[in-house]
């Protein structure tokens, strides 16, 4: 086996762990940096978008204030509330930079340029979200604001029409415009369907109120000079009523004025005249034009993420620190991991006869591996001891009969003893004992190698017990031992009858051998669930508790003083255990000194064969 010192550096576990840790650390640093840059950039963009939305809200609210108030008196409260909500400086001045209100301390200089102009009579597309095509803030209603009585009357008309639409299956919504007039809308502000309008619209909701009628007549009088100068005085022109919803959509009835005249050029001229007249009409009701200044509102470019040299040094230092810490921790951990592995390698390279162990210093996977290695070494040492003991026992068991046979043959050859029948009988018994030991060893070798052949067939347990009892009846009678058999329900086995008779014969032979004169050996069979229990019980001296776990070991004898001629070869019970295991069963022994012993075999049961 190659020593650890000769392993190439690139293949060592420590180097691989260090390389993996460095790679992970570099990837982590790179991913963290990328994530930080991406997140920060996104946050900056979102913050910029939020600031733009806040600016739009500020402009919208101040424009609404201008559209609903004749001057800027009292705007300080609204301006400071908006400044506190947005965290921005907000300042209002006249068009010639005379301060109106400012959220900053007195004397603070204004930004170089205004963020927007506020004029409710001349709005642009940024004053309100959505295009305002008329150019006049829809919240500037002036003389068109309805009285309470007019609102109540129109509300009743609106509810009547909404009920009519509901009966036709249209879910209408009543929306109130800045002047106080109710308007029916359908599907989030879309105009009501034409069929429902024909059935439910009685014209009362579209009729101008006295307040609106007076304002429209005044508007028409203001527009006449412009119309005359445009050559449109003699046309049939009357102002209708249209509601500007404030989102770019126009819904009947109308506040923005239309002349129904042919020709696009004439319509543009009329629209220009009416818009100018309407601005003049609303001018007393709205605040004068002003300029809005927002803190830092100097059209600065969008912020970009950029690392200064100082920040670059900080990032590089942090990355280097992470790498250093990673290397140090990995080195410590890897060293602790490699040290037990090296100890295992050195122990495994020791000569086999030393059965080296390794110290278990941890309880992690490496510690478990060390424990498994020590268990393996212990089992190997135990097996080696058993192998040596087996060789010694086999040699001892074979030496005695061979020595007896050789001695009698030598004295007979030298003429010292006549080969009479008694001598020949003694030699024959020694040869039979030798043959029994060899047969037992052959069976054990086959069982250990897994080549023990079985010829299974249905076997009735009662008949099997009777055959074994008959084979050992003479030996039992000679020893003065009563041999009995009992079987309950005649259970059946799927087994090799020859091998089972061998196993039961070994048990019966041992029982007869260890039962005193006048004792009893009982063979029994019964069904226990899916198992058949075969038992051999005797009334002998029993087995001591400390010897009971070893009864199935090879060359074990309960009485060490007994010879192999009276105590057997010492392999019978071990053969029983192997034969039963080959059938898928178990062998157990129980004993109480002075009372007797019981050997129990549990084997899989089988169904009786069909007749």
262: helix, strand or coil: coil
Question: Residue 130 has what pLDDT?
Answer: 36
Contacts of 493 (CB under 8 A, 6+ apart): 458, 459, 460, 461, 464, 500, 532, 603, 604, 605, 606
Query: Environment class of residue 403 by beta-carbon count within 10 Å: exposed (0-12), middle (13-18) or buried (19+)?
Result: exposed
Q: Is 579 left (phi over 0), alpha (psi -120 to 50) or beta?
A: alpha
Q: What is the mean pLDDT of residues 148-163?
A: 90
| Inter-residue contact 596 to 537 (CB < 8 Å) | yes
- The number of beta carbons lying within 10 Å of the beta carbon of residue 75 is 18
Residue 75 has pLDDT above 80, yes or no: yes
How far is it, in rounded angstroms, from Cα 209 to Cα 207?
6
pLDDT bracket for residue 256 (50, 70, 90): very low
| Inter-residue contact 522 to 480 (CB < 8 Å) | no
Judge if pTM exceeds 0.85. Answer: no
Q: Which residue has the higher pLDDT, 24 or 92?
A: 92
Q: Which domains does the chain have, with CATH numbers?
A: 1-117+292-349 (no CATH), 142-285 (no CATH), 365-448 (1.10.287.130), 454-606 (3.30.565.10)
pLDDT tens per residue, range 506-526: 899 889 988 999 999 999 999
| Inter-residue contact 121 to 286 (CB < 8 Å) | yes
How far is it, in rounded angstroms, from Cα 21 to Cα 16?
8
| Inter-residue contact 521 to 536 (CB < 8 Å) | yes
From the list 321, 324, 219, 209, the residue with the least C-alpha distance to 275 is 219
Q: Report the chain's mean pLDDT, rounded to a whole number.
A: 77
How far is it, in rounded angstroms, from Cα 79 to Cα 91?
8
Q: What is the mean pLDDT of residues 407-430?
A: 79
pLDDT tens per residue, range 375-404: 888 888 877 776 776 677 667 667 767 877
pLDDT tens per residue, range 179-204: 888 888 776 544 445 666 677 877 78
Q: Which residues pair with 459 in a beta bridge?
A: 493
pLDDT tens per residue, range 115-133: 888 988 887 544 444 333 4
| Inter-residue contact 239 to 257 (CB < 8 Å) | yes
Torsion angle defined by CA atoms of residues 156, 158, 160 and 164, in that order, rounded to the nearest 10 degrees: -170
How far is it, in rounded angstroms, from Cα 11 to Cα 5?
11
| Inter-residue contact 507 to 536 (CB < 8 Å) | yes
How far is it, in rounded angstroms, from Cα 214 to Cα 155?
21
| Inter-residue contact 134 to 121 (CB < 8 Å) | no
| Inter-residue contact 292 to 95 (CB < 8 Å) | no
């Amino acid at each position: 086996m190659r020593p650890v010192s000769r392993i190439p550096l690139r293949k060592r576990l420590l180097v691989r762990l260090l390389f993996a840790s460095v790679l992970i650390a570099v990837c982590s640093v790179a991913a963290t940096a990328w994530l930080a840059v991406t997140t920060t950039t996104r946050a900056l963009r979102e913050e910029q978008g939020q600031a733009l939305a806040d600016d739009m809200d500020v402009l919208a609210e101040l424009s609404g204030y201008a559209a609903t108030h004749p001057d800027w008196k009292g705007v300080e409260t609204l301006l400071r509330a908006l400044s506190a909500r947005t965290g921005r400086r907000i300042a209002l001045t006249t068009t010639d930079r005379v301060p109106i209100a400012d959220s900053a301390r007195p004397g603070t200089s204004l930004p170089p340029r205004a963020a927007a102009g506020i004029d409710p009579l001349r709005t642009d597309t940024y004053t309100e979200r959505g295009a305002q095509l008329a150019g006049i803030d829809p919240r500037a209603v002036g003389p068109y604001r309805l009285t309470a009585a007019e609102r109540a009357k129109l509300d009743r008309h609106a509810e009547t029409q909404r009920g009519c639409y509901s009966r036709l299956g249209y879910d209408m919504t009543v929306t109130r415009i800045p002047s106080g007039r109710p308007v029916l809308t359908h599907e989030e502000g879309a105009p009501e369907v034409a069929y429902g309008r024909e059935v439910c619209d009685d014209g009362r909701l579209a009729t101008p109120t006295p307040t609106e009628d007076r304002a429209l007549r005044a508007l028409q009088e203001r527009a006449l000079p412009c119309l005359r100068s445009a050559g449109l005085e003699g046309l049939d022109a009357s102002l209708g009523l249209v509601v500007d919803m404030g989102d770019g959509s126009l819904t009947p009835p109308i506040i923005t004025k239309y002349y129904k005249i042919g020709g696009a050029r004439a319509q543009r001229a009329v629209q220009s005249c009416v818009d100018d007249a309407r601005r003049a009409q609303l001018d007393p009701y709205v605040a004068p034009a002003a300029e809005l200044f927002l803190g830092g509102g100097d059209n600065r470019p969008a912020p970009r993420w950029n690392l200064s040299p100082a920040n670059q040094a900080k990032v590089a230092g942090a990355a280097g620190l992470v790498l250093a810490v990673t290397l140090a921790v990995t080195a410590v951990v890897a060293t602790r991991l490699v040290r037990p592995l090296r100890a295992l390698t050195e122990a495994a390279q020791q000569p086999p006869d030393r059965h080296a162990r390794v110290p278990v210093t941890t309880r992690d996977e490496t510690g478990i591996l060390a424990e498994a290695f020590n268990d393996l070494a212990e089992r190997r040492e135990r097996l080696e001891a058993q192998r040596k003991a087996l060789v010694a026992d086999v040699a001892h068991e074979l030496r005695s009969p061979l020595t007896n046979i050789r001695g009698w043959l030598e004295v007979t050859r030298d003429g010292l003893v006549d080969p009479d029948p008694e001598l020949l009988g003694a030699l024959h018994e020694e040869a039979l004992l030798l043959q029994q030991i060899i047969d037992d060893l052959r069976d054990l070798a086959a069982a250990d190698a897994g080549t023990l052949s079985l010829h299974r067939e249905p076997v009735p347990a009662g008949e099997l017990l009777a055959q074994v009892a008959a084979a050992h009846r003479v030996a039992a009678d000679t020893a003065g031992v009563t041999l009995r058999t009992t079987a309950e329900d005649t259970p059946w086995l799927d087994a090799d009858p020859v091998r089972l008779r061998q196993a039961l014969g070994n048990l019966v032979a041992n029982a007869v051998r260890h039962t005193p004169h006048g004792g009893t050996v009982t063979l029994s069979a019964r069904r226990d669930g899916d198992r058949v229990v075969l038992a051999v019980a005797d009334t002998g001296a029993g087995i001591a508790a400390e010897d009971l776990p070893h009864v199935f070991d090879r060359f074990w004898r309960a009485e060490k003083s007994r010879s192999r001629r009276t105590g057997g070869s010492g392999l019978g019970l071990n053969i029983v255990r192997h034969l039963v295991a080959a059938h898928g069963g178990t062998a157990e022994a129980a004993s109480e000194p002075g009372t007797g012993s019981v050997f129990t075999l549990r084997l899989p049961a089988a169904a009786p064969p069909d007749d």
